[in-house]
Amino acid sequence: MVDACETMPKADTIKLRNKHIGKSCQLFYRSDPLKIVRGQGQYMYDEQGARYLDCINNVAHVGHCHPKVVEAGTRQLATLSTNNRFLHDELVQCAQTLAAKMPGNLSVCYFVNSGSEANDLALRLARQHTGRHEVITLDHAYHGHVSAVMDISPYKFNQPGGDPKPDFVHVAPCPDVYRGKYRDCDYPDGTDLGQLYADEVQRLLDRSPAGVAAFIAESLQSCGGQIIPPAGYFQKVYDAVRKAGGVTIADEVQVGFGRIGTHYWAFEPHGIVPDIVTVAKPMGNGHPVGAVVTTPEIAESFAATGVCYFNTYGGNPVSCAIANAVMRVIDEERLQENALRVGRYLLEQSRALAYEYQLVGDVRGTGLFVGIELVADRQRRLPATRAAKAVVERMKTVHRILVSSDGPDDNVVKLKPPMVFTAENADEFLYAIRECLTYLEQQQKESSAAAPEVANAPVRVTHPLATGGILQPSPISRGQRDTSTLIKSI
């Protein structure tokens, strides 16, 4: 194990970043950024050797610097690194393993460097196969940063300063039953909320002037706030899209490779088989590699254009050797089973927070994919944006635990840690978040006593991970104050 080290003082690193790195390239903890110099397992270390529990990193899927992954990449890098237009065993073995883990007829692979590239290519495949161009996406979705997928990512184009939504993109409501268009609290028990949300997609299909090429959705929305779709939703949507002549794309970039515990892919519990699946992030454990997996029929349509597809680095021997090692480690170390076991414990204990703290409105998740939604008023489910920001900061500064917040109102504390996360790590997180929530509720009481009236000015969202914009307050009666206006930055 190497010692934590740095080649220059942190202040000099910050100066060089400010000078040479674009201002739009965001940092975690912008006001007091971390300088991370080493990672091991579920931990990261700063330049002074301080250890942080990593609850953010769904990229270091099998743990930071896993020795088997490092060895595989090092060995292949010392042997050969070239493009994929030569025969190589690592490439075909990686494709074979991916196809074997997919259901149905998903058996043809294209290798890329990132999730953005994967989703871009998936759109090309869908459009070529259907001869159409229009796409249905979900509100708050994020599918990448290249131009084609920015067009289908409301998480990006709805930001202040974002480009307007193209006419060929249709946005369906996010199937969020807690604070979405159709909330569970607004309907009798037993109401099929999945059908209500699926009907919204059907209406877009019916109104499409030229027909829809594809419906694309993250199997579980992450940037959208750790959303778990209602039962039956995806089945109904997939049936409707296919009946209308479109194809279905499952974006597994953030949630694939066993993270949900019960299955290897997050679309599987929904009883569906997509036409195209995109994977990336966890596939390389931090190394840039991704893939698109589709059916022979769609692959044949793509080949029929006569335009050859190649990707200089996608599928190179080093990337494939690393991806193969990652998938072997998941199986050998039973990390999917670990995600199921530890995730159930974490989710069960996190749900208990709602009985202790009024700030906790909803806790949802599966496996090592958990969201804790903070609200200012449970009855109206008002977002507690500043409270989430305060939790993120205090978890870092006081407890040395790294979490993030997200969702359309940036009020969902997210956990998606490396898959080697343990029950002891879960206990450490739970102890820390209880302390943070206790601290914040005490602040709320003190603020309420000192300031009986709450200012009615808009609250600007300033969290370094926030999507931006202004949160407009609703009229709140005394005793039902929005804690987001009361809790100051820590």
How far apart are alpha carbons 54 and 60 in whole angstroms?
Answer: 10
Digit-coded pLDDT (tens) for 368-381: 999 999 999 999 99
Name, of 85-89, 362-366, 472-476, the range with top average pLDDT.
362-366
pLDDT at 487 over 70: no
Confidence of residue 77 (pLDDT cuts 50, 70, 90): very high
Cβ contacts of residue 128 below 8 Å, gap of 6+? 301, 302, 304, 305
pLDDT of residue 2: 52
Summarize the confidence of residues 320-339 as an average pLDDT. 98
* Residues 199, 218, 93, 332, CA torsion sign: negative
* Residues 43, 46, 51, 56, CA torsion sign: negative
pLDDT of residue 262: 98
DSSP 232: T
How far apart are alpha carbons 260 and 272 in whole angstroms?
Answer: 16
pLDDT of residue 29: 87
pLDDT at 5 over 50: yes
Summarize the confidence of residues 282-289 as an average pLDDT. 96
pLDDT of residue 479: 32
Confidence of residue 452 (pLDDT cuts 50, 70, 90): low
DSSP 272: -
How far apart are alpha carbons 486 and 82 in whole angstroms?
Answer: 56
pLDDT at 453 over 80: no
Summarize the confidence of residues 65-80 as an average pLDDT. 97
pLDDT of residue 454: 42
pLDDT of residue 458: 39
User: Which of 21-25, 173-177, 338-342, 348-352 has the weakest average pLDDT?
Assistant: 21-25
How far apart are alpha carbons 155 and 407 in whole angstroms?
Answer: 9
How far apart are alpha carbons 395 and 404 in whole angstroms?
Answer: 10
Summarize the confidence of residues 91-110 as an average pLDDT. 98
**H-state helical runs in 451-471:** none
Digit-coded pLDDT (tens) for 217-234: 999 999 899 999 999 999
Confidence of residue 315 (pLDDT cuts 50, 70, 90): very high
CB atoms inside a 10 Å sphere around CB 56: 21
DSSP 61: T
DSSP string, 130-175: HS--EEEEETT----SSHHHHTT-HHHHTSTTPPPPPTTEEEEPP-
Angle at Cα 168 formed by Cα 466 and Cα 211, nearest 5°? 130
Sketch out the chain's domains with CATH numbers. 29-58+335-447 (3.90.1150.10), 67-333 (3.40.640.10)
User: Which of 211-225, 267-281, 377-391, 462-476 has the weakest average pLDDT?
Assistant: 462-476
Q: What CA–CA distances, in Å, run from 35 to 15, 22, 444?
A: 13, 18, 32
Summarize the confidence of residues 66-81 as an average pLDDT. 97
Mean pLDDT of the chain: 89
Query: Cα–chain-centroid distance for residue 324?
Result: 23
Q: Where are the beta strands (DSSP E) in 350-441?
A: 360-365, 370-377, 382-383, 401-402, 404-406, 412-415
For 417-433, letters b (16+ CB in 10 Å) and e give: bbbbbeeebbebbbebb
pLDDT of residue 99: 98
pLDDT of residue 449: 79
pLDDT of residue 160: 78
C-alpha radius of gyration, the chain, whole number:
23
DSSP string, 80-126: ----TTS--HHHHHHHHHHHHTS-TT--EEEEESSHHHHHHHHHHHH
User: Which of 209-218, 269-278, 479-488 has the weakest average pLDDT?
Assistant: 479-488
How far apart are alpha carbons 446 and 441 in whole angstroms?
Answer: 9
pLDDT at 450 over 70: yes
